[in-house]
Amino acid sequence: MTSNRTFTMIKPDAVSNGHIGNIINDITSSGFKIIAMKYLHLTQSQAENFYGIHRERPFFKDLVSFMISGPIVAAILEKDNAVEDFRTLIGATNPENAAEGTIRKKYAKSIDANAIHGSDSNENADIESNFFFSSFERF
């Protein structure tokens, strides 16, 4: 994957609070093109594997429980400088610290239920996209 793609998930809190449409609108009106998208409910082992890098962190168990508490939307997005620009669009991990107008500022309630995921590097964007999508599910 090239540096113009990133991976996102709309997390269970934002899905259950009815924000899918508003968040997708924020994403596409910020210039991101949707390359692939699916609506699914993660299993415990999928959530543990996806967040495996955080396995030793104190919040890991709660994070996994939260991520399997309801369905999510997973997507691959394309734009110049996608990873960095998307992290700017979503805002800080803790919505209390997120800039005005960012997705987490608008739709997240707390540091754990923070509405949306965005890859933090090109390498992780590639790994995370491959976790959810096969090559023939991308356009």
Catalytic residues: 117
Q: How far apart are CA 51 and CA 20, in angstroms?
A: 22
Q: How far is the CB of 120 from Mg ion (least distance, A)?
A: 5
Amino acid making up residue 5 = R
93 binds, among Mg ion, ligand UDP, none (CB under 5 to 8 A by kind): ligand UDP
Interaction of residue 8 with ligand UDP, rule CB under 6 A: no
Write the CB contacts of 65 (distance below 8 Å, at least 6 apart in sequence).
none
Of these, 39, 59, 131, 139, which contacts ligand UDP (CB under 6 A)? 59
Interaction of residue 112 with ligand UDP, rule CB under 6 A: yes
In the chain, % helix, strand, coil (3-state, to 5) comes to: 45, 15, 35
- Residues in touch with ligand UDP (CB under 6 A): 54, 59, 63, 93, 111-112, 114, 117, 120
